[in-house]
Amino acid sequence: MESVIREGQRIPERERAGYELQIRLGHLAFFAIGPAAVFFMRGIRRNSFAGLEEVRRVYRDAARSGRPVLVCANHLNMFDSIFLHYALATVPEYLREFRLFTWNVPAVENFKRDTFLRALTYLSKTIPIDRAGGPAHYRAILDRIKYLTASRGQIFTIFPEGGRSRTGRVEPERVTAGVGNIVRDLEKPIVVCVYMRGEEQTTYGSLPARGDRLHVRAEAIEPTTKASGVRATKELARQIIEKLCELEAKHFAAIPGSEPEPSGGTKLNGSPARASL
């Protein structure tokens, strides 16, 4: 915890104030963005969800614990975050308590050329990451995630694989050290592991198939380790990715025929994007 305090002190006061402004503007904009996102998913795309009640209960209990919270999820679609937001809480809940609306760390190249997407990304509580950035850039991103989580009680969604799975399954070998680094430096964090997948999903893409039914599962864990340094980050990250693998196995067991072929199937749409911490 002391390391989080030191890292927070390295963040300029002007930047901290900028995050407060970003939260307030995002909250105001959500009165329009929230219902529009739901209409897009449920009305235009005609996607439905299974498992929402339990997922929302798990997330609500974690958020009310008074402890640092991270959401860690599998990653199959470029716009997974939009659907995850809907899975975690309702629009009225977000309007009452905008802290529940999780921060994200999107790859900057996915939106930097489009003014509308840049504005929407900013209002959606994000800290952009540059895939071409060096170690100092990644450390700065981690510092800001820890600061907002530990000192401001904010919640982040992290994709431990660092990018969309190319096989259509959780890929433990791709797990990045960043999530373990964050968990290591927080005091008694709760990690809400979320697995989300459409019935027609075979591999990675941009959006779930139109009309597809998404199944969502969640379980809260408290990763721990007696190790230190890099060894601790790896052990904590391993515990998280193993839980996601377990949730994936439950998904495939509950829905016969949903497991993708070893080749990963045919790409749905969209281009590869990977931003690892």
pLDDT in tens, 141-193: 999 999 999 999 999 999 999 889 989 999 999 998 899 999 999 999 999 99
Query: Which domains can be identified in the chain, with CATH numbers?
Result: 2-254 (3.40.1130)
Contact 167, 34 (CB under 8 A): no
Which pLDDT does position 266 carry in this prediction? 37
Confidence of residue 258 (pLDDT cuts 50, 70, 90): confident
Contact 85, 102 (CB under 8 A): yes
On the question of pLDDT at 265 being above 50, the answer is: no
On the question of pLDDT at 271 being above 70, the answer is: no
Average of per-residue pLDDT values in the chain = 90
Instruction: Name residue, tokens 């989080």.
Output: 4
Q: Other C-beta atoms within 10 Å of 223: how many?
A: 23
Is the pTM value of this prediction over 0.85?
yes
Confidence of residue 260 (pLDDT cuts 50, 70, 90): confident
On the question of pLDDT at 41 being above 90, the answer is: yes
**Average pLDDT for 62-83:** 96
Confidence of residue 263 (pLDDT cuts 50, 70, 90): low
